Amino acid sequence: MTKLIIQIPCLNEESHLPDTLVELPRSIPGIDEIEFLVIDDGSDDRTSTIARQMGVHHVVRHRRNRGLAIAFQSGIERALREGADIIVNTDADGQYSGRCIADLVAPIIRGEADIVIGDRGVEKNEHFGRFKRKLQQLGSSVVRRLSRTNVTDAVSGFRAMTRQTAQRIFITTEFSYTTDMLIQAGRKRLRIVSVPVDTNPAARPSRLFRSIPRFISQTGMTIIRAYTTYNPLRVFGAVGVVFFLVGLIPLVRFAWFALSGDTSGHIQSLVIGGSILVLGAITLLLGVLADLISANRKLSEAILEKLRLMEDRLDTIDGSDKVVAKSRGRGQLIDRLSV
């Protein structure tokens, strides 16, 4: 039995959420059960109330606004607890057509993909301005290169993933999950495919960023941070090599004058070049340290993944096989698992 949960992160979406929910599919070939999940990210309107009135199966509410990335991760955690086999993420403002969800999950149902990204056809999308189209294309090309994937619309929030994939993805940014998730998925060698999807005109300005320069800077920092997290030695090594090359310039200059018998007045070149070389060496050492920390992070992710798998097993155990114990005033559930 295959269960699909469609999650919708929301922030003050009481006016747009009903139309979005109405357009969502109630049945899809290959899917036995479809449920809706709304993540209310600290809205100060009636978003949660509207969601419940519209028959949304699950509502997660943050007491204050915590950002799109954390709202996305909260939805993933809840969807996993509710037993989702496939998770689809879409926007509350109706930008993505709910009719395309069947196309989005089709590659997963056929066993051809771990993650499916909805390609909005940015290059020819009439709902995007010319500058935004160019910006999206540039960003997608950068993410493709860094993640070693062939994603055509890297910042599209319209995406589907398998349960196993959701258990392996851990969003670390607070701004936007889109690029962080793709770089992670690419480095973990997950199968990612893109499918064309329809879009609707923007119902309102984006709440993710206040201006294009701010979006560029925050997205750029997210990409750099995510790439450095998974390739620290390469990043620090490249910076260290640059320092070494720059440091050699004044040293070569000093050596040239020294061989000519003129060293007076050029000691500063020796000092500057030596200092930059030391800085390069320190950077390389930081790269080695960061690489060791990265290895530890991989172990931590493996532990978290196994914990999620254990939670799945605990959910399938009969209640008679569970023993409740209390330690220091806090309830702990001890499950006897037969291996």
pLDDT 10s digits, 19-67:
999 999 999 999 999 999 999 999 999 999 999 999 999 999 999 998 8
Q: So what's the pLDDT on residue 40? A: 95
Judged against a pLDDT cut of 70, whether residue 338 lies above it is answered with no
CB 66 within 8 Å of CB 149:
no
- Token pair 């309830």: residue: 331
**pLDDT tens readout for residues 136-167:** 777 788 888 888 888 888 888 899 999 999 98
Which carries the bigger pLDDT value, residue 216 or residue 338? 216
Q: So what's the pLDDT on residue 48? A: 94
Q: What is the mean pLDDT of residues 311-324?
A: 53
Q: So what's the pLDDT on residue 335? A: 37
Kind and range of the H or E run holding 279:
helix 267-316
Q: β-strand 192-196 against 330-335: which pairing, if any?
A: unpaired
**pLDDT tens readout for residues 230-276:** 788 888 999 999 999 999 988 888 888 788 777 676 788 888 888 99
Q: So what's the pLDDT on residue 212? A: 66
Judged against a pLDDT cut of 80, whether residue 126 lies above it is answered with no
Which carries the bigger pLDDT value, residue 4 or residue 121? 4
197 closest CA partner among 128, 88, 103: 103
**Percent of the chain beyond pLDDT 90?**
40
Per-residue exposure over 321-339, b if at least 16 CB sit within 10 Å of its own CB, e if not: eeeeeeeeeeeeeeeeeee
Judged against a pLDDT cut of 50, whether residue 319 lies above it is answered with no
Judged against a pLDDT cut of 70, whether residue 316 lies above it is answered with no
**In residues, how long is the chain?**
339
For 6, the token pair is 């469609």
